[in-house]
Amino acid sequence: MLRRKKDGLVSSEDETDWAALLLRVRDHQDRAAFAVLFRHFAPRVKAFLMKSGAGASLAEECAQDVMAVLWQKAHLFDPARASVATWVYTIARNRRINALRRARRAEPEELDWGPAPEPDQAEALETRQETERLGRALAALPTPQRTLIERAFYGELSHSEIAAETGLPLGTIKSRIRLALDKLRHRMGEGPKRT
């Protein structure tokens, strides 16, 4: 038998009858019943979400969302199928899963629409000439320096990996690469030779 108490409906065992409160929300949009449900479930839902790995702000946001669903979709509650707590925590779990999916979803890349613009002929020619100059500058390097540059940049090896591969000391690797890069910068800085 239910009787009224200061904080809502209670059973004779002095336990709140959550189903009766939710049915009052469902059938009569009873704000007082909803307030009792909110005071009880909102902090527990937030704690549940935080224990399952959600940050405080996400847990708070989801808890508010769960309580809004409780008010808006009370008509879907069926006490014969589940307890109020089961229903509330199921909504909370689903909201958290949705929030995680949204957080993991990468922002779409900006897509260029339409055909790609034709490359500028002058830029294409300049790029080709620069590539040829780089090839000549690399060929002019002493073989030990050229080999290290090729392994570092084309082979994408770290200095330590090159040292392990060649047996040369790491300091030697670094100094040869630095010297080779200085020579390349100098040769590339000369620009194309004009006649």
The top-scoring range by mean pLDDT among 7-11, 58-62, 68-72, 113-117 is 68-72
Inside any domain, residue 126:
no
E strands of the chain, at which residues? 3-5, 8-10
**pLDDT 10s digits, 70-95:** 899 988 888 888 888 888 888 888 88
104, 129, 148: which is the final residue of a domain? 104
So what's the pLDDT on residue 30? 93
Q: Are residues 158 and 97 in the same domain?
A: no
Q: Is the pLDDT of residue 151 over 90?
A: no
Structure confidence at residue 194 as a pLDDT band (50, 70, 90): very low
Phi, then psi, of 80 in degrees rounded to 5: -75, -20
Taking the C-alpha atoms of residue 71 and residue 46, their distance in angstroms, rounded to an integer, is 17
State the pLDDT at residue 38.
94
32-36 contacts at long range (C-beta below 8 A, 24 or more positions apart): 32/8, 33/8, 33/9, 34/70, 34/71, 36/7, 36/8
**Do the beta carbons of residue 89 and residue 70 sit within 8 Å?**
no
Using the structure block, give the residue that is written with the tokens 């200061």. Answer: 6
| Cα(109)–Cα(112) distance, integer angstroms | 9
Q: What distance, in Å, lies between the first and last C-alpha atoms of the chain?
A: 107
Look up residue 79 and give its amino acid.
Answer: P
Residues 20 and 85 in one domain: yes
How far apart (Å, rounded) are the C-alpha atoms in residues 136 and 156? 21
Domain co-membership, 92 together with 8: yes
Whether the predicted pLDDT of 5 surpasses 70: no
Tell me the residue range of the domain where 181 lies.
137-189
Task: List, for residues 13-49, the tens digit of each pLDDT value.
Answer: 346 789 999 999 999 999 999 999 999 999 999 988 8
The answer on 89 and 154 residing in a single domain is no
CA 136 to chain CA centroid, nearest Å: 45
Q: Which residues pair with 4 in a beta bridge?
A: 9
Q: Is residue 184 part of a domain?
A: yes
Q: How many domains does the chain fold into?
A: 2
